[in-house]
Homo-oligomer: A and B are copies of this chain.
Amino acid sequence: MVTEAADPPFSSLAAFRDLLARMPSPDEAAREQARARNDQLTKPPGALGRLEELAIWLAGWQGQEKPRIAAPQIIVFAGNHGVVARGVSAFPAEVTAQMVANFAAGGAAINQLAELAGARLDVIPLSLERPTGDFTRGAAMSEAETVAALSAGWQVVDPGADLVVTGEMGIGNTTAAAAIAHALFGGEAEDWVGRGTGVDDGGLAIKRQVVAEGVARHGGAVAADPLAALALLGGRELAAMAGAVARARVEGIPVILDGFIATAAVAPLEKAVPGALDHAVAGHVSAEAAHRRLLDALGKVPLLDLGMRLGEGSGAAVAIQILKAACATHSGMATFAEAGVSEG
């Protein structure tokens, strides 16, 4: 399905939630065809491990027996965060805009990884001059701001893409991600707070305190409505990732999730409507310890574990290669009959 107009079909969080509840399912017929094909390929059953599962999963979401990744799209959203004033990051807030300039100039990690993957790269700065509110004192964003960010994400997805990766840049956004995860999945603040880009012990203590304060203030509202986490504790780039992942589902485009922040950004969708992330695979588990905990809570098993913790969509961009390998083997291999090979 290709949506002709990119205008988002929601103008409130309630309408966005209703949309999530009506999301399309995978194409069962294509998935069954892919499964049958997989059983006939010249290899012992199951010998390609997760590559086989991924090919069948991709077939279902792309609606074709032989899935392909010929036009992947990587979208990096950038935002700034009011809580940075509390001292939660090792880098100053102006680095967000500096890194956006670095993306534009082609000098960042994600530029190299997008080129390697043959992916289109879109970088969307979101009101960098206007940080979100400090969520320990009030809502990070109003509902209107949140809907605007969701819409920005929704609109930038290319309906012609056959795979979407969402990434982010935003000094302070591991703090927002930790607050969302803590509010959604409980535990203690320290379970969800790590060093991010490399905060020292003092900064780490502040970060834990800020997350605890934020969840003390907004936890009840998030328990009542998981999507409210994006407004109360989130940030523009997080809500935009959520909007893009929802749009991908509507378009039948599979998604690779990146690290802790990208995963926390979409966790409210799954919490609001179980199954809302069935079209998304975890590209990697990052070195930010809370990411593994969050993936466990979402039932996602990461494809890669390379100790990465950069964001920018970088881990997911590397994982594109794994999905390409799954497509290449599934779609290109001969069957036992074609090759004249004896089955076991």
A198 with B116: CB separation less than 8 A: no
Interface residues of A in 33-64 (CB under 8 A from B): 41-51
Q: Which residues of B contact A198 (CB under 8 A)?
A: 44-47, 344
A238 to chain B, nearest CB (A): 19
The one of B46, B308, B317, B338 that contacts A47, using a Cβ cutoff of 8 Å? B308
Contact flags A107-127 to B (C-beta < 8 A → 1, else 0): 111011101100000000000
Q: Provided the pairs A306-B322, A329-B113 are in contact, do residues A341 and B42 lie with their beta carbons within 8 angstroms?
A: no
The residue on B at minimum CB distance from A340 is B98
Q: Which of A86-94, A133-141, A158-166, A221-229 contacts B (4 or more CB under 8 A)?
A: A86-94
A62 to chain B, nearest CB (A): 18
A287 with B339: CB separation less than 8 A: no
Number of copies: 2
B303 with A303: CB separation less than 8 A: no
Chain A residues within CB distance 8 Å of chain B? 41-51, 90-92, 94-95, 98-99, 101-102, 105-109, 111-113, 115-116, 197-198, 287, 303-310, 314, 317-318, 321-322, 324-325, 328-329, 331-334, 338-342, 344
Q: Which residues of B contact A101 (CB under 8 A)?
A: 339-340
The one of B45, B108, B342 that contacts A94, using a Cβ cutoff of 8 Å? B342
Q: Provided the pairs A303-B306, A308-B51 are in contact, do residues A98 and B342 lie with their beta carbons within 8 angstroms?
A: yes
The residue on B at minimum CB distance from A107 is B334
The residue on B at minimum CB distance from A334 is B107
Q: Which residues of B contact A111 (CB under 8 A)?
A: 332-333
B112 with A328: CB separation less than 8 A: yes
Q: Report Cα–Cα, A49/B108, bound state, in Å.
A: 15
Among all A-B residue pairs, the 9 with the closest Cβ atoms? A107-B334, A49-B307, A321-B321, A112-B332, A44-B197, A47-B310, A112-B328, A49-B308, A90-B344
> What are 19 sample pairs from A and B whose C-beta atoms fall under 8 A apart?
A43-B310, A46-B307, A47-B197, A49-B287, A49-B307, A49-B309, A92-B342, A94-B342, A98-B340, A101-B340, A102-B339, A107-B333, A112-B329, A112-B332, A113-B328, A115-B332, A116-B328, A198-B344, A321-B322
A338 to chain B, nearest CB (A): 6
